[in-house]
Amino acid sequence: MAFSVTTRSHSYESYDAEDSVFELSDFADSSDQTCMRQDLVDQKSRRHKRFVRRHSYSPYEVKVKTLAHHHQWKAPEFFRGAKLPPGRMVAHQSSLPHLPVPDLVQTLQKYLKVVRPLVDDIGFQKTKQLVEEFGKPGGLGESLQSKLQSRAQERQNWLDDWWLHTAYLDYREPVVINASPGIVCPPQDFNGKKEQLQFAAKLVAGVLDYKVQIDDQSVPIDKLRTRPLCMDQYYKLFSACRLPGEQRDQVVVYGPDCGVRPRHIVVVHNNQFFSLDVYDNNWKPLSQDHIHAQLKRVVCQSKHPSVPVGILTTENRDTWGRVYNQALKKDKTNKLSLEAINRSIFMLCLDQETVREKDRWTSMGHQLMHGGGSQHNSGNRWFDKTLQFTVGTDGAVGIVYEHSPAEGPPIIALLDHMLDYCSQSPAVKETSVHPKEPQRLHFSLNNSVLEAIDNAKKSLDMQVRDLDLHLVTFKTYGKDFPKSQRLSPDSYIQIAMQLAYYKVNKVACATYESGSTRMFHLGRTDTIRSASVESLKFCQAMQDSSIQPSEKVALLRRAVEGHKKYAQETVSGQGIDRHLLGLKLIAVEAGLDVPDLFEDSTYGQAVHFKLSTSQVPSKYDSLLCFGPVVPDGYGICYNPAEDHINFCISAFNSHRETDTVKLATALNQSLLDMQELLQTQAKL
Ligand code: COA
């Protein structure tokens, strides 16, 4: 079947539009399909109810009800071994301002403003009363605010451990698709095992070259315009791993103060793991030629697929935590192998061919997000590892990363460096000098572990079948056009997404955009809320032919400028979402009931993010892919270049009303309509 977006529009183009559309029908006969779809919907809706019950905040957030049962809750130890020795980075970090606690009245007023387009009049009036009650002088809001301010005075960052914990480590759904992004690199021009290994050797050398800057603390400091940003995340990427627990996970980083510094990477091929030293005796990284020779040895020793023990890392976290702690780790051989994986600098996955989906780029998106299923590359992974670089025999290259230590930008900085290195380095040469033999990591798998692997395969395959993914490039223009109109490109794209969603659904929905708070010490993100009264007015006007184009232009500009203002406030630490989260968590910590404001159905709607979006720019045509955060929603990541924009859109097949191709088509049309509107008006 033809790739429908390409046939409907000349502006969108996939890299290789052919083959069939990814549907449930590809995997089951029609009689099974209804059952399977129903099963997936039920499972997802059960999962979602559990999730909302537990988190009642945002897709990524807070296990409030559970925490309320544990008034003595304390933040666990994070990032063991991640302390940096004194140096340039430590000096930079300590010069950064602390994350502020926004003003209470300001947050409550903004909250009413952002929920207005999402709820009806009756719901809004009820919410207004709850807000007034919460915020009244001497009321609960003021008392929680003062507790939060005290917390902020005692810590470097009042939010960071709460956030890490509630957004990531307490999250019990599988990290694959739900939490761990995959980053697709531009497809490489090679095919076959020989070239795969040559490219992989360059890639490893390029990553080690980048690590030199981490080790001597000389990574260039990121800036937002002129303001320097927190660089902490860069130092938690290498030699790091998530460890599964039965109720909560941990992250460990084998940093400079961890004792014996890791000197190996782990290479996985045909589901078999090998430890490979990548430094010589003087701590000089091995050359790409030596790495290449070592990779050839790994491949020679793993010619056939073995039991995919790595697939266990795709499981629900409680299940995996049980298997890890109660079965796998108890065996001495396994313990050594697990330690080698956890401590390794990073993982290199030498993959088989990518499973073909509707087009090559989308196929690569699937490959990076989950590995294609249990019969393909999903067992050739360790999804708990913070950094996994994948190189397929067919030129599919990318990074899979475990999200808890960092957002996309530091990973993209590494990826850009790595791709620069690969394109500039000379051809790999054969060498007869062999460093130390790669060490196979053995696993002893008893019946209970084998059974767990079988179960993991089945549940992963269901998740894989359920992912609806679409990677496309909008080619008509990029950042250049909104800039020429004196509009912020990011805000403009966000409003285009609002219009696209409105075209398809005829309503606005709660929309999450990641806004970086790295201007502050240990800052991560807050939510830029892109759905607003102004964006809704613009979307409604665009569907109404009686409204004059000049008025539509005014509404468009107001919506874009309103978004930009909200975004600027968010990155300056004046967002509302993390503040409200803090007020809720501080109540829980104080042993109080969750305030009524957070039990209100409006609040439920406000944090049910049917559009979960993020801009992750790269100088290459790379694209970060992540899944939706609610069963009936979309995940959209975009990489805007000057003259085109790459989009990855995800949804779940089990939800009948979502459809990535349909949304992509509407987005394409929205971007074209907005350009036409602005250009036509400019000519008048
Ligand atoms: N007229 C002309 N040009 C404008 C403009 C205007 N009105 N407004 C902005 N621009 C320019 C900017 O100067 C900038 O120029 P550059 O390309 O030369 O740098 C460019 O347009 C882009 O600016 P803008 O589109 O407004 O976005 P931004 O780069 O400021 O990014 C966020 C906005 C919110 C995405 C960013 O602040 C952020 O938080 N990013 C991190 C998100 C994140 O962590 N994602 C990962 C999650 S895993």
DSSP 155-211: SS-SSHHHHIIIIIIT--S-SBTTTB-EEEPPPPS--SHHHHHHHHHHHHHHHHHHH
Choose one of 163, 225, 490, 525 to mutate for the ligand 1 pocket test, by most ligand atoms within 8 angstroms of C-beta: 490
- Terminal CA-CA length for the chain: 43
Judge contact between 123 and 131, C-beta under 8 A: no
Largest CA distance in the chain: 78
**Predicted pLDDT of residue 435:** 80
Which residue ranges of the chain lie beneath pLDDT 70?
1-84, 86, 684
Number of neighbouring beta carbons within 10 Å of residue 211: 19
- Is 325 exposed, middle or buried (CB count within 10 Å of its CB: 0-12, 13-18, 19+)? middle
- Ligand 1 neighbours by CB, cut-off 6 Å: 224, 407-409, 479, 483, 486-490, 514-516, 525, 528, 567, 571, 614-616
Check if the beta carbon of residue 462 is closer than 8 Å to that of residue 321.
no
CA separation for the pair 75, 602 (Å, rounded): 29
Per-residue confidence (pLDDT) for residue 43, from 0 to 100? 53
Helix ranges restricted to H, 193-287? 193-215
Measured in Å, residue 489 CA sits from the centre of ligand 1 at 7
The residue whose C-alpha atom lies closest to atom 46 belonging to ligand 1 is 408
Cα(645) to ligand 1 centroid in Å equals: 14
Are the beta carbons of 399 and 389 closer than 8 angstroms? yes
Between the CA of 494 and the centroid of ligand 1 the distance, in Å, is 12
* Residue from 488, 526, 614, 639 whose mutation best tests the ligand 1 pocket (most atoms within 8 A of CB): 488
| Rounded Cα distance, 203 and 420, in Å | 10
What phi, psi does 464 have (nearest 5°)? -65, -45
Local structure of residue 359 (DSSP, 8 states): B
| Spacing, Cα 490 to ligand 1 middle (Å) | 6
Determine the Cα–Cα distance for residues 439 and 267; give it in Å rounded to an integer.
10
- Give the Cα separation of 306 and 402 in Å (integer): 24
Residue nearest to atom 19 of ligand 1 (CA): 225
Query: Where would I find the H helices in 549-608?
Result: 549-569, 577-589, 596-599, 601-606
Residue nearest to ligand 1 atom 9, measured at CA: 488
Name the residue of 479, 615, 618, 642 to mutate for ligand 1: max ligand atoms within 8 A of Cβ. Answer: 615
Q: Give dist(CA 509, CA 579) in Å, integer.
A: 21
Å from CA of 406 to ligand 1 middle: 19
**Encoded tokens for 277:** 């030293």
CA-closest residue to ligand 1 atom 28: 490
Residue 486 CA: nearest ligand 1 atom is 1
pLDDT of the residue at 116: 97
**Helix-strand-coil percent breakdown of the chain, rounded to 5?**
50, 15, 40
Quote the pLDDT of residue 625.
98
What is the C-alpha separation between 178 and 625, in angstroms, rounded?
Answer: 11
Q: How far is the CA of 586 from the centre of ligand 1 (A)?
A: 33
* Pairwise CA distance, residues 626 & 512, whole Å: 13
* Token pair listed for 186: 């531009």
CB 371 within 8 A of CB 352: no
Of all protein residues, the one whose alpha carbon is nearest to atom 4 of ligand 1 is 488
Look at the pTM and tell me if it is higher than 0.85. Answer: yes
Residue 286: φ, ψ to 5°: -60, 150
Q: Which residues are catalytic?
A: 403
Which strand (E) or helix (H) includes residue 378?
none
